[in-house]
Structure 1
Amino acid sequence: MGRIKPQALLQQSKRKKGPSRISATIVTFYALILVMLVFILFVTYRHWSNRTRLQPESYISVSEDENTSVESKKSDLPGYAVVITSKGSIIVELYKESAPEVVDEFIDLCQKGHFKGMLFHQVIKHYIIQAGHNKGPGATEDWNLLGKKYASMRHEAFMLGTSKGKYFNKGFDLFITTAPIPDLNEKLIVFGRVIKGQDIVQEIEEVDTDEHYQPKLTIGILDVALKQIV
């Protein structure tokens, strides 16, 4: 057998090792593809993750803002009225929830000075004291059953209300009950309750009146002050 020359063996060795080598260019190319795939997957994940997380927060934020706005408007309204009479002060808690429209109008009229100088022109013992700008006999008999819109609560003593008939005809008088009077439920809109000054109400109730229940001495409202707290 003939001997193989060393140079021929070296060439054969190079040819055998050649196919097992990987080009640096190929490695770089596949590495770039892998990096791009990872980047695309990461961006996609971040996009959907943020979208899912932000949508509920945005909805809650809007709802909370609306609720906060409504609550803020309610809390801005005065909750109490101080009726300053010639006999003393009567503090009333306003029912902003049960009669909001009536309370709104009452507050507006107070700010315009509507009740300044208003007289108590009807005083009926164990019944009501009534203040208004229109005097004259027969006022209690003139109440009608208008105003089914409001379902008044049962009338206990020391409740503040206005007559439905005058209210719906752009008038606004004031009544304070001095005893439980359930038969007035269809005639009065109750929008407050006396929490202090019941003795002043009773003092007005005890004044002398004529046959038409009109006080013989002038008793009136000097002013009405609105308060957030008392």
Structure 2
Amino acid sequence: MVSIVNCSRSRGQTRTGLSNFENVDEIADSKKYDLPGYAVLNTSKGNITIELFKDGSPEIVDKFLDLCQKGHFKGMPFHHVIKNYVILGGHSQDSGGIEDWTSKRKFHRQLPTSPKHEAFMLGTTKIKEDSKAFQLFITTAPIPDSNDKLYMFGRVIKGVDVVQEIEEVDTDTHYRPKSPVGIINVILQQVI
């Protein structure tokens, strides 16, 4: 049974909708546990189940959940597929920051990695506050030099084979898939 739940996190608001700023932390803590813990990305190659890091990246998870509810990822293409590195998706054509860190991938392979930067992690690029863009990526190898450019907010727990199948698509010299591949929709779940 799949349930889509209310993912908004309204700080300082009681059940009646009135503000109660004395209990903001209590409300935020209680709502953190009401948020979905998993996202199932239904892609053109199959399903990928992501465990979300609600505690480690709460603001990014909130934004991701909000965008899921608004249908932002429905029909989102993977616009760059770099074998043994990363799969990138998004609607924005502003990819300057992405080009910067993807072009440097070959020079930093020898750096140590933390668990945060393992393969099969879900993340987004660090973008300007006023930007409406939300790039989404799944790593297919450790990316140790990404702290200043990327937020990791989840990990693939099911569907690694699907990620690997996407990684195998033919691309042009700029890593753009020659045939369309992307996210059909996202289903949010409390439990798996």
Shorter-chain TM-score bucket reads 0.7 to 0.9
Separation (CA, whole Å) in 1 of partners of 2:129 and 2:139: 17
Q: What's the counterpart of residue 26 of structure 1?
A: none
**Which 5+ residue runs of structure 1 have no aligned equivalent?**
1-64, 144-151
Q: Deviations over 1:120-141 (max 9, x none)?
A: 0100011000011135886632
Aligned to 1:218: 180
Q: Select the residue among 110, 122, 125 that pairs with 1:163.
A: 125
Tell me what 1:12 maps to: none
Query: Match for residue 54 of structure 1?
Result: none
The structure whose RCO (Cα within 8 Å, separation 6+) is larger is: 2
**Which entry has the higher C-alpha Rg, 1 or 2?**
1
- Retained in 2: the 8 A contact 1:138–1:212? no
Q: Show structure 2 runs of 5+ residues with no match.
A: 1-22, 102-113
> Normalization by structure 1: what TM-score?
0.63
Q: Deviations over 1:138-184 (max 9, x none)?
A: 663246xxxxxxxx973100000000026662321111000011012
Indicate conservation of the 8 Å contact 2:92/2:133, yes or no: no
Name the count of aligned residue pairs.
158
Structure 1: 4+ residue segments shifted above 6 A: 65-68, 136-139
| Residue 124 (structure 1) aligns with | 82
Q: Does 1:104 align with 2:98?
A: no
| RMSD of Structure 2 on Structure 1 (CA) | 2.4
Deviation track 1:89-131 (CA, whole Å, cap 9, x = no partner) reads 0000000001101100100100000000100010001100001
Name the structure 2 match of 1:179: 141
CA distances 1:71-100 after superposition (whole Å, capped 9, x unpaired): 431211000000000000000000000110
Letter of the 1:78 counterpart: P
Equivalent pair of 1:153/1:190 in contact (CA under 8 Å)? no
TM-score (norm: length of structure 2)? 0.75
Alignment match, 2:45: 87
Contact kept, 8 Å, 2:37 with 2:51, in 1: the verdict is yes
Identity level (%): 63
> 1:66 and 1:141, CA in 2 relative to 1: closer, same or farther beyond 3 A?
closer
- Write 1 or 2 for the structure with the bigger share of helix: 1
